[in-house]
Chain A
């Protein structure tokens, strides 16, 4: 089956292309890209992308699909459906499932489920330590054979610098990136950013230094053992500063942030809305500005969602008791496009952080829209206005602080390996 995506503005950051092109897909592969493809075979599907942007499918290096164990929060099917709507064609799902993805059998389970149920591609991230307990390393090699693309104890840091050192060293065998969630638990323990807002609400704070200390620690270890390290969901000005300085002399450091960290400040927690409860917490205006500057300067390489779906009842309680996390797939692109309108990034630069850079981090061939590449393609309207309605989310997780907000930019079409999995183009 052939598909022709006609008349769109093709933005492929990998090849530095931004212009009007037609894209012909044959089977699972991009067959031809040229200014105008007139002659098509009978039976070719024609997709009119005029006035839209055509781009490689987005890659999310950090999400939670909750399966196995927490199917009431999300499943691989609902999660990948939501991701495809949001414009993502490849996902890395974190290991904090139940059981934890710390063994070959769980990795195989996720890979099999994703093959059977997944709407887009799912790449599991294995746990650094067994049970995320920071006691002993997981069988990383076995999980690697089963298909993990990174290791992380996301949700918490690997406690103990000695163990983190071993993880960074051991991961080198498989060239697996180690993804670090930076949080010193002796300093955290709160529920919101420690700042002016927490002073007003009386909610226990998580200081910025809880993140920065571990960022600095893990960078020092990575440099010492010469291993690649990826710091995830960076949220503070101090972290950006530490990473920027480290990158000058050590090239194997990368990092990501999430849309909520450059969109909302801790002011959003003043109403005790539990949908604003996320870890790391929403930070101060100064931090938000530094994150944006980090994105602009390239200190921050990747935008990830940290899609963390939760059932309503876990958020419909006292703020202290509510779960941490934001359901992010279906708002990520629109929130990120704000960076383009604010002149922080151009469209190519933004898509770089959601396609090329994540692909490079994970060693994938995806994230490119070129002849011969797998046909992971999205078509979005960067300007259309829409109002977030959490009840219309495909994700089971309705936990979003953006409910009711009007956003600009919306994905309209997603193709994974040549198969149309989402189409609102009409």
Chain B
């Protein structure tokens, strides 16, 4: 197929064909990161700006490494170095950046829809690096890539997502992609962290972690979104941990070849125990590695065409 989109704003709206195309493209890039010389000239002369209004280690570094391995020039702007502190609007900041002719802007923003707003006014490709509680499409893509790598398929699986579903863009993007491929998705967490109408997404809600993870093929753990008021939805992290912290006893009731995922950053001892995070079922570091390949694929598809 031919890639037609200018932007990657979310998983919702992408066809399975498009998603598979990204995953297959990522497959061909994964190898580059394992070579001695980890660089190809594919995006030479292209400029990628990462515009991050929220803190990030993994996602921003991953995008930067992905761009650099494809020989693109990268510039990182974070909220502390941007003009937002001087009162400039997001649109104006973006328009100014666009005047410097970047090819892609990766934006992370605390408010849903911020990337969509930019996509409407800029010619550069906009990549959503996470917008509020809305979407985090490259995370869902790298998760899907990892699942396919480990399980050999991305359909007909029982996937349990545990934690603060309401405030998680990772949960939303993963629900959209996993349902799109016909998986069974169970969301587990305290009811205060599960938004109403989840059933309309074809998702089952389960408040009991033990029941939720039984025979699961994939368990995705989320962290409490402290910056989005996450701690006011539970009496204490101690109680949360007792009810929704994933331990070995849970993993033992899951499918034999179950995998444990976490988008990071992890709060060890709260949502996940050390022995699970570091155990044989954990694919958490594979996710990070695959993230680079998936983001290389996304950059390549969006801006790798004819100059």
A residues with CB within 8 A of B: 194-196, 198-205, 207, 271-272, 313, 316-321
Of B56-64, B140-148, B192-200, the one contacting chain A is: B192-200
Q: What chain B residues lie within 8 Å of A317 (beta carbons)?
A: 89-91
Q: What chain B residues lie within 8 Å of A272 (beta carbons)?
A: 112-113, 116-117
Do A203 and B197 have beta carbons less than 8 Å apart? no
Q: How far is the CA of A349 from the CA of B193 in the complex (A)?
A: 46
Interface SS of A by simple majority: loop
Do B195 and A203 have beta carbons less than 8 Å apart? no
Of B44-52, B130-138, B237-245, B279-287, the one contacting chain A is: B130-138
CB distance from A224 to the nearest CB of B (A): 32
Do B200 and A321 have beta carbons less than 8 Å apart? no
Chain A: CB-nearest residue to B198 = A199
Q: How far is the CA of A365 from the CA of B213 in the complex (A)?
A: 69
Query: Given A196-B197, A196-B200, A318-B111, A202–B90 Cβ distance below 8 Å?
Result: no
Chain A: CB-nearest residue to B201 = A199
Query: Given A199-B198, A272-B112, A318–B133 Cβ distance below 8 Å?
Result: no
Do A321 and B111 have beta carbons less than 8 Å apart? yes
Q: How far is the CA of A195 from the CA of B195 in the complex (A)?
A: 9
Report if B262 contacts A (CB, 8 A): no
Do A202 and B134 have beta carbons less than 8 Å apart? yes
CB distance from A236 to the nearest CB of B (A): 14
Query: Given A195-B197, A203-B112, A272-B117, A316–B169 Cβ distance below 8 Å?
Result: no
CB distance from A254 to the nearest CB of B (A): 31
Query: Given A202-B133, A202-B172, A318–B117 Cβ distance below 8 Å?
Result: yes
Report if B109 contacts A (CB, 8 A): yes
Do A202 and B197 have beta carbons less than 8 Å apart? no
Do A201 and B134 have beta carbons less than 8 Å apart? yes
Chain A: CB-nearest residue to B118 = A318
Query: Given A200-B12, A202-B134, A320–B112 Cβ distance below 8 Å?
Result: yes
CB distance from B274 to the nearest CB of A (A): 32
Contacts A198-B195, A318-B90 supplied; 10 other A-B pairs, CB < 8 Å: A196-B200, A199-B200, A202-B134, A202-B135, A203-B112, A203-B113, A272-B116, A318-B111, A318-B113, A319-B113
Do A201 and B112 have beta carbons less than 8 Å apart? yes
CB distance from B60 to the nearest CB of A (A): 20
CB pairs A–B below 8 angstroms (19 shown): A195-B196, A196-B197, A198-B195, A200-B12, A201-B113, A202-B112, A202-B113, A202-B135, A203-B112, A203-B134, A207-B196, A272-B117, A317-B89, A317-B91, A318-B114, A319-B111, A319-B117, A320-B111, A321-B111
Q: What chain B residues lie within 8 Å of A201 (beta carbons)?
A: 112-113, 134
Q: What chain A residues lie within 8 Å of B200 (beta carbons)?
A: 196, 199
CB distance from B199 to the nearest CB of A (A): 10
Most buried by A among B91, B113, B195, B198: B113
Q: How far is the CA of A80 from the CA of B307 in the complex (A)?
A: 54
Do A199 and B91 have beta carbons less than 8 Å apart? no
Do A202 and B169 have beta carbons less than 8 Å apart? yes
Q: What chain B residues lie within 8 Å of A320 (beta carbons)?
A: 111-112, 132
